[in-house]
Structure 1
Amino acid sequence: MVTADDRHIVISVDCHGGAPVLGYRDYLESSYHEEFDRWAAAYEVPYEDMKGEEGSRNWDSDRRLRDLEQDGIVAEVLFPNTVPPFFSTASLASGQAAVRNAEELRRRRAGLQAHNRWLADFCAMAKGRRSGVFQVMLHDIDAAIEDIRAAVDSGLRGGVVLPGAPPGSGLPPLYYHDHYGPLWETCVELGIPINCHSGGSGPRTGDRREDDMFFLMEMKWWDQRTLRHLVLGGVLERYPGLKVVFTEVGVGWIPALLQSMDRFFDSARTPSGLAGEGVTYHGSHVIDQLSLRPSEYWKRQCYVGASFLHPSETAKRELVGVDKIMWGSDYPHVEASFPYSREAMRFAFAGVPVDETAAMLAGNAAGLYGFSLDGLRSAAGRVGPGRGEVAAGVDPATLPPAAAKCPAFAGAMPGAATTQMGDNRKVVEQSRNAPKIA
């Protein structure tokens, strides 16, 4: 018999939600209602998992609580999912690209403001158990800061989801550009993180199948590029209080990239510009402005939201930092670990010391996203997975065939995803098949 004290507290740092299209109307400023009515009358929801019975998982508060508790989860970090007013696709997929004029920027900002207001109310329905990640447009940085302050004042503590700024977006594509300085400064002042979520950073280059393939292959590269910009571009040096989270991008790539950046840093710091295996850099004045090695900035300021955490990644936890890894289920997406999250935790954390597992399942996220572990303990005592159960692992042969949809079980059972690329195909379909706004 597992007692309440023997259960893990579990916080998923990668969940998604949003209002149904018409549910945003009351959250828009009234001056937009006529425009919204015209837009909504012609709009068709482009995603099957947001229609019918399954769609309500995004906005039905009671259903979410039941589903998550069934999965052993007592709290969640909420990223956007549904389509906000005046967008043609989910904003996480469309990012900041193709804002054609000031009028469209005005409408889109209003749409994101409506989402943020809805999100604040939705989080309040399960006080202490939801932390909402809010959205801004970065073309007008002063307006973005105004929206950040409004979101925090409304009670949202999940921080900003960093919009993509690929070439063609109308934004400086380099995050170390001075344009973004006030954004970093405001987040430090308010004590909220910047969140980089997979699929939001890279550009769409076309609609051919080859374009789809390279979008998927390069998706992680764009997130790695963001980390390089923030570290080697001096952002984390200039803003030592800034916290950055990389979510749904995997874990395995982090040690190699940090090692590569450390070698580059060490090479640039030598008088000859050469070190060891011969990375060269001439003009080290840029690197000379950094007081820490890249891996030290990671340890001081960065985290990973490890959706679909795999045993091969858990094995690298010391290289990444046990205090930097946070677990996520990706609910309610098709590839989410729901309703097999208990099994996913057992698969990922088999044999891992209990205190380390507790940190990755809840402790790290609590500190970053403003959850109270004491406040969550009662619910966890009812529904949390047993500590011994998680440490004991799971025999993949006992998993139901339907679990193969989730990349958390990659390679463990017939039909399971073999890479994290498969779970991101929805981003391609969202971008390619969505209707366009006239």
Structure 2
Amino acid sequence: RLKDMDLDGVWGQLLFPNFARFAGHRFYPNVEDQELALACIRAYNDHLLEEWCALAPDRLFGAAILPLHDMDAAVAEFERVVAGGARAIAFSENPTVLGLPSIHTDYWDPLFAAAQEARIPLCTHIGSSSRLVSTSDDAPVTVQVTLLGVNSMMAAADWLLGNVFDRFTSLKVILSEGGVGWIPYIVERADKVWHDHRIDYDPVLGRMFHKPEQPPSINFREHMYACLVDERFALASLDNLPVDNILFEGDFPHGDGLWPNNRRYLEKVLADVPDDVATKIAGTTLAGLLQTG
């Protein structure tokens, strides 16, 4: 891995689960042997932190997985992996698809409180709900791949129009691999909805919904980050993007990535971008989120 990073001109990487799935949900919630499932989660995290990241702790940073179906166990594992050097937590873009409570319930409060206190970001990788948007069951897989960013759009709307950030005022959420070109539209749309719908009654659910205290555009800037892989249009439209919230993602070793040309790509597409902005996108913003310095 380090040789490939050197060849690519990349100093550091945030490592996501793959076999364990992007929110670790291979091991929950519908697993009969819960003791074995927790042991597998702990074994994965131990391998990630003690055998992989430990080889180059200043270059390899781990996103640990948690037993999200059991909040007491999740918080206990959170504390253990953070003590062991985890720099981020893999979280689901839509927990309800996994049979878990939504982020609009208080189920997640202990984990959100722990992440906020430890300054550990939650990373919602596309596909971390095991559901990707498509048009039909028989649509070409290329339709699904083209629409990857829609998952991040939906996750962003969920966070921005809920009340989590009212209660956890320094919690950070990273939308991984979902792109950034959609941000101006969804934030503008969410702001309009926020202004137009102060309090709504949902007759189906039979409950009131109160809008968050701050406009979604402010909550995005204070709490959320999104990742670009290969988006020339987005980079050409930086005036419309919150540049302090944009992270570059190499997506190694997946096919969407540009390895071994990531550095050359960035040098080309960021050539006309102010140096301070280019530096943030290329790494310093993520380095701050991961507390690497």
Q: Same fold (TM over 0.5)?
A: yes
Amino acid paired to 2:236: A
Equivalent residue, structure 2, for 1:70: 7
Distance change >3 Å, CA 95–CA 205, structure 1 → 2 = farther
Q: 1:349 aligns with which of 270, 279, 284?
A: 270
Normalised to the residue count of structure 1, the TM-score between the two structures is 0.60
Q: 2:287 aligns with which of 366, 377, 384?
A: 366
Provide Cα deviations, 1:150-195, integer angstroms capped at 9, x if missing partner: 10011111x11103545553212x2111111111111011110010
Equivalent residue, structure 1, for 2:125: 197
Equivalent residue, structure 2, for 1:171: 100
Aligned-pair CA distance for 1:209: 3.1
Distance change >3 Å, CA 96–CA 129, structure 1 → 2 = same
Q: How does 1:28-427 map to 2 (within 5 A)?
A: 64-81=1-18, 83=19, 90-92=20-22, 95=25, 99-103=29-33, 105-121=34-50, 122-157=52-87, 159-163=88-92, 165=94, 167=96, 169-172=98-101, 174-203=102-131, 208-210=137-139, 212=141, 215-216=144-145, 219-269=148-198, 286-288=209-211, 290-308=212-230, 310-372=231-293
Aligned-pair CA distance for 1:305: 2.3
Contact 1:175/1:226, CA 8 A, preserved across alignment: no
Greater RCO, 1 or 2 (C-alpha within 8 Å, sep 6+): 1
Normalised to the residue count of structure 2, the TM-score between the two structures is 0.87
Amino acid paired to 2:4: D
Aligned-pair CA distance for 1:311: 2.2
Greater helix share, structure number: 1
Aligned-pair CA distance for 1:107: 2.6
Contact 2:28/2:69, CA 8 A, preserved across alignment: no
Contact 1:97/1:170, CA 8 A, preserved across alignment: no
Aligned-pair CA distance for 1:315: 2.5
Distance 2:140 2:7 in 1: 39
Secondary structure class of the residue paired with 1:326: strand
Structure 1: gaps spanning 5 or more residues: 1-63, 84-89, 274-280, 373-438
Distance change >3 Å, CA 80–CA 101, structure 1 → 2 = closer
Contact 1:166/1:202, CA 8 A, preserved across alignment: no
> How many residues align structurally?
287
Distance 1:316 1:106 in 2: 50
Aligned-pair CA distance for 1:287: 3.4
Distance 2:132 2:36 in 1: 22
Distance 2:188 2:132 in 1: 30
Q: Which has the larger radius of gyration?
A: 1
Provide Cα deviations, 1:99-124, integer angstroms capped at 9, x if missing partner: 43442x43333212111111112112
Runs of 4+ in 1 over 4 A off after TM superposition: 164-168, 204-208, 211-219, 281-285
Aligned-pair CA distance for 1:218: 5.6
Secondary structure class of the residue paired with 1:92: coil
Distance change >3 Å, CA 170–CA 291, structure 1 → 2 = closer
Distance 1:205 1:340 in 2: 29
Provide Cα deviations, 1:233-264, integer angstroms capped at 9, x if missing partner: 10111101100101100110111000000000
Amino acid paired to 1:259: E
* % identity of equivalent residues: 27
Aligned-pair CA distance for 1:97: 8.9
